[in-house]
């Protein structure tokens, strides 16, 4: 020990301390100042990187493997509309029954995208059907109903009782209004027609409606084809 003490000098002690600091500090520097890209996947322990260690917006789409983000890994409401690229969600990416009524915006689905067979009766369609004339006909000059141009009026409902005189009975309802016009293409350009509902005295008994046609110049009764509409 005395031999060692004899050889200890101020310079020896200070040089030893300097060597220790250099070696210790170099190791500490090496641990905290790693070269760029020197740490790869093999150097990272499994589960070592936690959520709190990842900077916000650090993980981009290009860094995700295909199908890496599963539904169970995505927080509820984490993906909002402005995070989706246009046309990014295709039909085959939507789960069956995933899009419910409350998820569809009003007027978002237009006509050609709707299966008409899935639709019920439109609320006003019934009213529109009722608004159409419930009975109408084209009556020939001899007094027959032209079936191709008639609805709810048949030959049995028409009786010709004289020249230019036509009676209507047995209609499916009691009309409250009747409108008639001479068939101009059928030769009625020279005639005038008068029509009325109920018993007009023209027909025998109580009729639903009647029509009478006269020549426009002489007012003499004439036979002409005509159209007639009944409204209940």
According to the model, what pLDDT value does residue 131 have?
Answer: 60
Q: Where are the beta strands (DSSP E) in 30-141?
A: 135-139
Spatial contact of 208 and 171, defined as CB atoms under 8 Å apart? yes
According to the model, what pLDDT value does residue 130 have?
Answer: 58
The alpha-helical segments, DSSP class H, found in the chain are 2-7, 10-32, 125-131
According to the model, what pLDDT value does residue 106 have?
Answer: 84
Q: Where are the beta strands (DSSP E) in the chain?
A: 135-139, 158-162, 165-168, 177-182, 191-197, 209-215, 226-231
Q: What is the largest CA-CA distance in the chain?
A: 163
According to the model, what pLDDT value does residue 34 have?
Answer: 67
Closest CA to 192 of 202, 200, 204, 184: 184
| Both tokens assigned to 134 | 């419930």
Q: Which residues of the chain have pLDDT under 70?
A: 1-34, 71-72, 121-132
| Both tokens assigned to 48 | 């070592």
Q: What is the pTM of this model?
A: 0.46
Spatial contact of 197 and 176, defined as CB atoms under 8 Å apart? yes
| Both tokens assigned to 152 | 């709810």
Q: How many angstroms separate the CA atoms of 182 and 62, rounded?
A: 79
According to the model, what pLDDT value does residue 55 have?
Answer: 79
Q: Where are the domains of the chain?
A: 2-31, 65-116, 132-231
Question: Please, how many CA atoms are within 13 Å of residue 180, restricted to the half-sphere of its CB?
Answer: 26
According to the model, what pLDDT value does residue 2 have?
Answer: 56
């Amino acid at each position: 020990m005395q031999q060692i003490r004899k050889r200890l000098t101020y310079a020896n002690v200070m040089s030893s301390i300097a060597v220790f600091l250099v070696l210790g500090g170099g190791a500490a520097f090496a641990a905290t100042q790693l070269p760029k890209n020197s740490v790869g996947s093999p150097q990272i322990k499994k589960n070592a990187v936690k959520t709190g260690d990842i900077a916000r917006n650090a993980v981009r789409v290009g860094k995700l493997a295909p199908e890496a983000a599963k539904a169970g890994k995505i927080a509820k409401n984490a993906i909002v509309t402005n995070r989706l690229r246009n046309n990014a969600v295709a039909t085959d990416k939507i789960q069956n029954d995933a899009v419910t009524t409350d998820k569809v915006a009003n007027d978002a689905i237009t006509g050609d995208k709707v299966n008409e067979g899935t639709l019920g009766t439109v609320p006003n369609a019934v009213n529109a059907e009722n608004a159409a004339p419930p009975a109408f006909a084209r009556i020939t000059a001899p007094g027959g109903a032209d079936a191709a141009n008639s609805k709810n009026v048949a030959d049995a409902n028409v009786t010709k009782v004289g020249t230019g005189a036509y009676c209507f009975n047995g209609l499916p309802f009691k009309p409250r209004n009747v409108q008639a016009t001479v068939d101009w293409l059928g030769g009625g350009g020279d005639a005038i027609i008068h029509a009325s509902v109920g018993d007009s005295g023209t027909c025998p008994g109580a009729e639903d409606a009647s029509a009478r046609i006269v020549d426009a110049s002489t007012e003499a009764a004439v036979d002409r084809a005509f159209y007639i509409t009944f409204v209940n």
